[in-house]
Amino acid sequence: MARKPQYKGPWKKVRQTVLDRDRYECQIRGVGCTRQATEVDHILPAALDPHGAGWFDEDNLRAACQSCNLGRLVKSKTTSSRQW
């Protein structure tokens, strides 16, 4: 699967900043959480930002373990909100 173009350029630095800020601890803590963050989650979908800045807005990002991040993706496809 091809990566979205937003994941190129500044994303790598922003991602690292968020993981460091959150000390690599999952901020979601959902069912099956491993507590070891390896991914960065958009709290509100970046697609909702008409200016496209949501991809890189650190206030809209948090560290997440893969289980929690994927769990939110599945939930978002079945509900109208990505919030837990």
pLDDT tens digits in sequence order for the chain, 84 residues long: 456 666 778 899 999 999 999 999 999 999 999 999 999 999 888 777 766 667 888 999 999 999 999 987 655 544 444 444
Owner of token pair 């190129």: 8
The reported pLDDT for the residue numbered 80 is 44
pTM: 0.76
The secondary structure element, H or E, covering residue 16 is helix 11-21
The pLDDT score that the predictor gives to residue 84 is: 43
C-alpha dist (Å) from residue 26 to 6, 13, 38, 64: 22, 18, 8, 4
Confidence at residue 9, expressed as pLDDT on a 0 to 100 scale:
80
